[in-house]
Structure formats: C-alpha cells, structure tokens
Structure 1
Amino acid sequence: MKRVLILTNGPGELWCWVRPVVPLLKEAGCHVTVRMLPCQFATGQEERVASMLGADCVVPAGSSLGTFMDLRNEACDLVLQMGGDLLYGFSAARKTTPLICYSYGRKSLMGYTERFITAWPQMVPEATDVVGDLVADAMYMDKGPSPWKKKGAYRLALFPGSRRQIRDASLGFLKEFRKFLDEKELSVETLTVVSPFAEEGELDIWSRAGLNPVKTGTGVVLKEADLAVTQPGTNTLELLHAGVPAIVAVPFSFLRQIPLSGIKGLIESKIPGGGWLKENLLRRIAKKQAFISWPNRLAGRRIMTEVTGDITPEDLADTTVALLKDPEERSRQRMELMELSGGPGAAAKVSALVLAELYQDGLI
C-alpha cells in the first residue's frame, strides 16, 4: 500500500483543499496521513475537523522547529503539500521522495518540486499543471436540507470569517448592520454561515445576537441565496462557484484582528505598540491593492462589489439594500462569476497526478 503524506496548515486549506482529495486517494488504495503544519491562522479546531475527513492518521501541529525535525523521520512514498512553507515539504521528502504542491500562489523553491499545481493559470503562470479549483469540489460534497425558511423574502448570507478573533470582532458590527437593515422595511431573511471550525458555544452567542447562525455546508446555503456579505478569503471562491453576487467588506475597525504572517507577526506580538503598527501597515496595503476578492483579482476587473475603509454598519446596510433592489446588477455578477468558475473536477485531477507519480511503472 502506497503511503501519501498530506501537509496542510490553515482552516481554509484543510476544509476546501484536503477534504475532497482524501476520499479519492483512499479509494485508490493509498494509506493517507494528514499532518497539520504550524499556522498563524489556526483556529485550534483543525485536528478535530481533520479527523472527520477519512484519513488513516491525523497528526496535530507542533512547534515550527519540532515539526520540521519530525518530518525528517516521516516514512512515506509521496508528499502532497497543500498550504504552508515548502521547507516542511522538502524536510519530509528529502532526496528520494517526490513532492507535489497545490497552491494559489508562487512559493520559494517551487521549481524543485516534482509538480507545482494551481487552480487558474493567472495564479501561478509557471505552474506545471493547472487543474481547476478544489473549492468547487469541496462545495459539491456539502449535503443537507435547505436552511432557508422565509418565503418571498430576499435571502442574505453573512460570512463572519473562519478565524475566531475576526468573528468576535464582527459580531457587534453585524448585529448593528442587521438593525439598520431591519429599518429599511425590506423583507430579508438572514443566515450567518458559521465556520465548521467554530466551537458549538459560538452558535448560542450568534443566535442571542439575532443573527440566525447555521453550520450547514456552504454549498447548501448558497444554492438559494440572493446575496452574500463576506470578508476576503476562500469564501469569495465559494461564492464564485455558486454564482452568488456578493459584497466583500473590510471595515478598517477590524484590522487589528487580522493575523500577520512570518517575522511581521512576531514583531507585532512582541513589541509595545505592535497592534498600532499592524493596523497602519494593513491600511497602507489595503489602499494599494486594486482588488481584495479572489474573483475580482482573477478577472482583473470588478465583478463583486468591494467596500473598504472606515465604513459603518449603516453604510454596509445601505450598500446591501441597494444591491438587493438592483436585479440587473446581481444578474451581471452571477453571470460573470459562473463564466469564471471551471466547476468541480480538480480533486480527480490532483489525485490522478499523485497516482501517476506513485506508480510510474504503470503497476497499481
């Protein structure tokens, strides 16, 4: 039995990339180990969620140095890295084990992997393989009854984020947003799509705030949604594949809640005034970035509505109502999103590339 070691780090990578690939590798007869890498975006729930994916073994994240050293002794026939620094992958692969990486962006040392896979060619022009987006496959796995209950109302999905500190920061903001939305005398049913990495107690908190939280799979929620309000990240790709128009919002009041990576994150956490420095850095980055959502970045033009800056809950409610009352604009967004989506199928292609590398002699 061939042994595949999957390395992954953040909640988005685990749920949207690893989840659809593991069952296909298991069906092909592989022994699959999922190993979590250290990640500043970790929620603390990754091991619990990873254990639900059907892998033979799940190894929780340790310290950066400890993980790097442990991987040198990892016995496997192939390393599939889906998130994190490639140094971890090379530590596990050493000189004799093939390393395949799936990524949305360039990485240092990417030219030394056996294959460097991406979703769209504009993400990594130098990629050896462009297979489509695994997020589409993950959404196809979401099953269950529709959570929408109110007939004749606009259906609005809210995405407060996969990271606890950002969800906590957004709770008060979205509660005020909902209050201003109610004042518009528009029939709107709101569902707050809570991350699968959220603890059960959080549902009560969001419910008491009147924001109607659900842990239903995103693919199920979005089938009947008219509009979504979200933050930048993987959620914007889920909306892309579902063809759901969206407002992607970054109120600057949230900036101190966004984790920084690498040395910048270390400085921010250790020095006095680090939070202030981080907020100013992120303000400068936000002003320089042409687009903040994945669909707009991929298309190189505005598809989704984006709002950033010192926006208030009332500002966001006004923008939401205007878009709900504009069926032509929502139809335009929906059509252009579906044109950009390649649909599901990436997981089968990734699995096929892994198996081709494992069985180069043609004997499976």
Structure 2
Amino acid sequence: MTQVDILILSNGPGEVTTWVRPVVKALRQELGNDPSVVRISVVLSPCSNASGKEAAIALSYPEVDRVQGAEHFWPFLLWGKTFDNWDWRSHGVVVFLGGDQIFPVVIGKKLGYRTVVYAEWSARWHKWIDRFGVMKPEVAAGISQKYAHKFTVVGDLMLEAQEQVSTAYSRSATLTTSLLPTPHSPIIGLLPGSKAAKLAQGVPLSLGIAEYVHKKRPQTKFVIPVAPTLDLQTLASFADPQKNPIAETFGFGGASLIVPKDDNSKALLKTTTGLTVELWQENPAYHLLSQCCICLTTVGANTAELGALGVPMIVLLPTQQLDAMRAWDGLPGLLSNLPVLGTPFTNVINWLFLRFVKHKGLLAWPNIWAQEEIVPELMGKLQPQEIGEMVVDFLTHPEKLADIRAQLRNIRGESGAAQKIAQIVGEEIGK
C-alpha cells in the first residue's frame, strides 16, 4: 500500500470518546497497524463544551500516532501548518468526526487529500466533500441526484458504545459486589457534568435527589461515573457548601470525599445524612451505565451515550444560576466564554432562551432524534424533593422505565458504523 496519512478532525469530549475511539480502532483493523504505512493524526477544533483534556484522551488511544490540541487549530486551518510543523504525505484522507463541516473542505483542499464526513443529522458542502457516511437514510433525503453517489448509510456511531459493552466488559470483571443490581436494590447513575459551569448546580442537586430517594427507598444504590477529565477532589469541592455556596439553594447539607487505602475499593462521597455514593473512575463506563435502571443527567453528549445504551434518564437543567449555563454549542458557546464579555452575554442569551423557548422536549439528544419527549426534561428552579418524587414513581412502576427503554432502542440507527466508515476511507485511499 502507498504511504498515506489519515487526518481525523474532531472537537468536543463526546465526539473524541464516542466517535473517534471506535473509528480509529476500525481503521487499524481495516488498514493495518503499521504507522510507516498508515499514519493516523487527530486535529481538534475549538468546542464550547471542551475541558482542555481532549488532546490527551485522543493521544491515549494506541491507534493514534499524533494529536494537535484545539488551541492551535486556527493557524492550521488558515495556513495549513501545525504547531509542531508536522510533515504530510502526498496521499491522504481527511475524516470529519466533529466540528464544522466546512473544516474538511478547507483542510482537504490545502493538503490535497480526499474527504470523508460522518453526518449524524445533516450533510453540507455536497459539491466539495468526496464521501458522506450518514447515520440514517433521512440525512440524505432531498440530496441532488448528481451527488447521491457520495452518500452511504453507515448507521450510528453512538451504538458502538453498546458493542463495547458486550465485547470488552463482563459484569464480574467491572462491577464491584456493592454495585451488582438486583430487583430490590436498583442502581441509579448520577451524571452532573464534567465542567464547573454544570457541576456547580448539578452536584448538589443530584446528591440532594439521591438523599431524598434513599430516604424513601433505602435499598437503592447510587453511583457517579466520573468524567475522565475530572479529578475526585474537584468533584468533591462542588459538594462542599463552603466552596460551592449555590449548594444551599438546593437545601443540600454537603458531602465529603472518602478515598480508601485499599486499592480494590472505590472512592465515595458521603453526605451529611449518611448516604454513600460510589465514584466510578473506569472509562468508558458503558457497562456500569447499562446496569442502571435510570440516570439523572445534565444536557450534553452524555444524553446521547445513555440513549445509545437504551438507559432511561431524567434530564435536568436547573436555572438557579444563569451564569452557570455556559454549555451552548456553536457560536453562542464560544461567545459566552469570552473574557469580560462572556458573563453578560451568557446571562442575556440564557434569559432569552428561558423566556422564549417553545420547543419543549428538544434539549436531550434522544428527544431531538425522536422529535418528541421520550425522556423527561426538567428546566427551571429545580429542587431535590420534586425530582426525587418522580424517581420514586419510576422505581415503583418499572413498566414506565421499560417503555422508555423500548422507545430509546427504536430511534437509533444500525450498528457497525465505525467499520463501514473505515471501509469508505479505504476506498478513498484507493482513489
């Protein structure tokens, strides 16, 4: 095979963990493991939801040879040179896995490479992109016939999460005895976010809900799958009212971090009421999440992962602190994080959103996919007691949870997308 470069373009933490990971694995299976023949590079673009650790995560994948962080993206886009002045082979393919679809058009032209775009919901720049791998046939609906040959339905990359659950994990290997679910001791997952903007409200609210549910149903277990970009001390600080004053808004008394000396034991958050919540640091946590009867989560890529796994969820968007709602996508997200001007802009756009939003039920990814509210979304000045009652009702009526699971499984595309994308890349290399 001719020496080739494969350049992966991506951006946020969700895309890096759930799109890039399976695709680079599939590329190596399809094209071989020799970097002197096929070299895989990842270049990240700015994302309002980024934590700053996406480059390190991508570089941890053994299939990836080199990574450039988002802070160096714009010079690369404008002038075609990376920060470390990478060399580029004469033959290559640009693979789009997150960001703006104009990026592969520009970069592909500069490098003289073929371009492949994974399009989940919409496909753009049909004239200039060489191939599209789309999640569902609907994405290609209405495309001009002269571009139809560029489109291939590959299925849903998010479903690779389910495949990893069944092939890479076993319950006995990954779940501690304390987290083995039974009909009488269900597990509830708490996903408060990974960035300070969400954690400030999400941690005290979710722990307060857990305390309420545990009081009504003491046999219930709780776990927080800790984001790979978050350390335990930082997470625990948001459960401390002394360090996170907004916790008092939710009537939450606080929690302390317990890190056992026994390496076989898990770290815990212990609340003032005596409730212990296990902190799960193994990533990805797909097998753990698949054992949860329900999850309490904030908005973001985690709702897509839970949806792909078929896990029921309640999506929480507390608005006690509008300035904390900086998790917008696209230009609003970038503007809201600007120095000085970011906070006023965030307050204005969030106020407008809360006042004028009319499309209720279209914030979580599963609801966006279905164009209807499959999983409950709660937005406003939320309190633990009201959400806790909803959770208790779900636990009392498991048939409601079963119905949500069935609907989640029905709205996603087919699996095997990563391998099909790798095959398309192989075809483009041949051209």
Question: Which position in structure 2 is the counterpart of 1:158?
Answer: 190
2:322–2:346: 8 Å Cα contact kept in structure 1?
A: no
Superposition pairs of residues 36-55 of structure 1, within 5 angstroms: 36-54=44-62, 55=64
1:228–1:245: 8 Å Cα contact kept in structure 2?
A: yes
Measured against aligned partners, the alpha-carbon deviations of 1:22-68 in whole angstroms (never above 9, x if no partner) come to 12212313210111112222101112111111201112222453231
Provide closer, same or farther for how the CA distance between residues 52 and 277 of structure 1 changes in structure 2, counting only shifts above 3 A. same
Range 31-40 or range 197-206, more displaced = 197-206
What is the CA–CA distance in structure 2 between the aligned matches of 1:190 and 1:251, rounded to whole Å?
Answer: 20
2:161–2:309: 8 Å Cα contact kept in structure 1?
A: no
Question: What residue identity is the alignment partner of 2:120?
Answer: Y
The one of 172, 183, 189 equivalent to 2:215 is: 183
Provide closer, same or farther for how the CA distance between residues 107 and 253 of structure 1 changes in structure 2, counting only shifts above 3 A. farther
Superposition pairs of residues 65-214 of structure 1, within 5 angstroms: 65-71=74-80, 75=88, 77-94=92-109, 96-106=112-122, 109-122=125-138, 125=141, 126=143, 128-141=151-164, 143=169, 144-147=173-176, 148-149=179-180, 152-202=184-234, 205=237, 208=257, 209-210=269-270, 211-214=277-280
Measured against aligned partners, the alpha-carbon deviations of 1:284-303 in whole angstroms (never above 9, x if no partner) come to 46443442222222223332
Question: Which position in structure 2 is the counterpart of 1:25?
Answer: 27
How far has the Cα of 1:282 moved from its partner? 2.9
For residue 3 of structure 1, give the secondary structure of its aligned residue in structure 2: strand
Superposition pairs of residues 169-318 of structure 1, within 5 angstroms: 169-202=201-234, 205=237, 208=257, 209-210=269-270, 211-216=277-282, 217-253=284-320, 255-257=322-324, 258-265=326-333, 267-268=335-336, 269=338, 270-271=340-341, 273-284=344-355, 286-318=357-389
Q: Percent identity?
A: 25
Across the aligned residues of Structure 1 and Structure 2, the Cα RMSD in angstroms comes to 2.7
What is the CA–CA distance in structure 1 between the aligned matches of 2:44 and 2:204, rounded to whole Å?
Answer: 32
How far has the Cα of 1:323 moved from its partner? 1.0
TM-score by length of 1: 0.88
- Equivalent residue pairs, number: 360
TM-score by length of 2: 0.75
How far has the Cα of 1:189 moved from its partner? 0.3
For residue 308 of structure 2, give the secondary structure of its aligned residue in structure 1: helix
What is the CA–CA distance in structure 2 between the aligned matches of 1:261 and 1:59, rounded to whole Å?
Answer: 21
How far has the Cα of 1:348 moved from its partner? 0.5
Range 4-13 or range 298-307, more displaced = 298-307
Range 148-157 or range 213-222, more displaced = 148-157
Provide closer, same or farther for how the CA distance between residues 227 and 276 of structure 1 changes in structure 2, counting only shifts above 3 A. same
Provide closer, same or farther for how the CA distance between residues 123 and 12 of structure 1 changes in structure 2, counting only shifts above 3 A. farther
Range 254-263 or range 339-348, more displaced = 254-263
How far has the Cα of 1:183 moved from its partner? 2.7
What is the CA–CA distance in structure 1 between the aligned matches of 2:66 and 2:323, rounded to whole Å?
Answer: 36
Provide closer, same or farther for how the CA distance between residues 256 and 118 of structure 1 changes in structure 2, counting only shifts above 3 A. farther
Measured against aligned partners, the alpha-carbon deviations of 1:192-232 in whole angstroms (never above 9, x if no partner) come to 12212223544555662433221233311123211111123
Question: What residue identity is the alignment partner of 1:131?
Answer: V
2:201–2:318: 8 Å Cα contact kept in structure 1?
A: no
Q: Unpaired segments of 5 or more residues in structure 2? A: 33-37, 144-149, 240-255, 258-268, 271-276
Provide closer, same or farther for how the CA distance between residues 115 and 91 of structure 1 changes in structure 2, counting only shifts above 3 A. same
Q: Unpaired segments of 5 or more residues in structure 1? A: none
1:83–1:103: 8 Å Cα contact kept in structure 2?
A: no
